[in-house]
Each structure stands twice: as structure tokens, then as C-alpha cells.
Amino acid sequence: MISWICFEWELASLELPVPSVPPLILRPAEKGEEETALKVLLTAFAMDTAWGDISRRLEEGMGRYVEEAFDRPDPSCIVALHGQRVIGASLLDANPDAGNHLLSGPMILHEYRNRGVGSGLLAASLIFLRDKGLTKVRGVTRANSTVSRFVYPKFSSVQSPYNQDPLQSSGR
């Protein structure tokens, strides 16, 4: 059985740091970065052992989420770059009623982890969603994943068990 956790942030009262992880750049994704974002996400998930047993379902779900995120004039995705190389991504759902606003969570290529990039990408994601008018943001992840242990507990999140499978639907 898969254990999921939902993290919630109340954005109205939350002071978020301006995400800065020099020399890396965090910015909204551009239309032509769809394939690159998907590749980075799938590679990052593959390097986190918490996701290995559902890798095929995860690949299908992320493919669908990337397609939806980039099927807008302004993609709902934040990317982290080292020079011109995309080294991290965070897919987002700005629908206030979504069960999971952080569709992928901040995912970073293995060789760039432990440098504050995940925290910066989370802060940038929360700011992006706040700028879209959301006051409460939810992020669903596996209980034993890297993001659930080291990234999502930041910025005054509150966690609770989550009984649905976020890979079955985007929570809309």
C-alpha cells in the first residue's frame, strides 16, 4: 500500500523568501521547454528510490501533467537552470479547487541536490501560485520521498494523511 501525505501552506499569511540559489536561475518555464521539463522530472524521480515501485504510473502521470501545464500561453511550471541547462522543474496546477497544486513537487537532478535548489524551487512555486490568486496550496507526495522529508516541511506547512491516489487524476 502506498502512503501519501498532503502538505498545506496558507499563502495569505506566509512570508516567503525571494528564492535565490546563485549561480542557479529560477524562472517560469517557456513554451518550448516541455520536453526538457519532462525529461528532468522523470530523471529526478528515477533517482529517488521512494518512487521506484510505481515508476511506470509516475511516468504516465507526469507526461499527462506536463502536457496540461504547457497547453497554456504561460506554462504552469517553474524551472531551475545552471547556465543554459534545466536542472530542476516544478509542475503546478493553479486551479484553487485542485487536490494537489504541486503536481510534481520541486524535482532536482541528483547531482544538484543538497544545494538549496529544492527549497528555492518550492518558494518560487508557492509565489507563482500566490500570484495566480491562490490563498491555500496543497502538495501531495509519498510519505518516504526526499521532498516529504526535507523540502515540504519548510515554510510553515501543515501535513496530513492523503487517502487518494494523485496519479489517478489531477484532483480536479
pLDDT in tens, 26-74: 999 999 999 999 999 999 999 888 888 888 888 888 999 999 999 988 8
| pLDDT for 169 beyond 60 | no
pLDDT tens for 59-117 read 888 999 999 999 988 899 999 999 999 999 999 999 999 999 999 999 999 999 888 89
- Greatest mean pLDDT among 13-17, 45-49, 105-109, 163-167: 105-109
The architecture that CATH gives domain 4-162 is 3-Layer(aba) Sandwich (3.40)
Q: Which amino acid is at 145?
A: S
Report whether pLDDT(170) > 60: no
Cell readout for 85 is 541547462
Domain range summary for the chain, segments of one domain joined by + = 4-162
Report the alpha-carbon distance of residue 111 to residue 131 in Å, rounded: 31
- Answer whether 8's CB lies under 8 Å from 162's CB: no
What's the confidence (pLDDT) of residue 171? 42
What is the Cα–Cα distance from 22 to 157, expressed in whole angstroms? 25
Indicate whether 129 pLDDT > 60: yes
What cell numbers appear for 25 in the block? 536561475
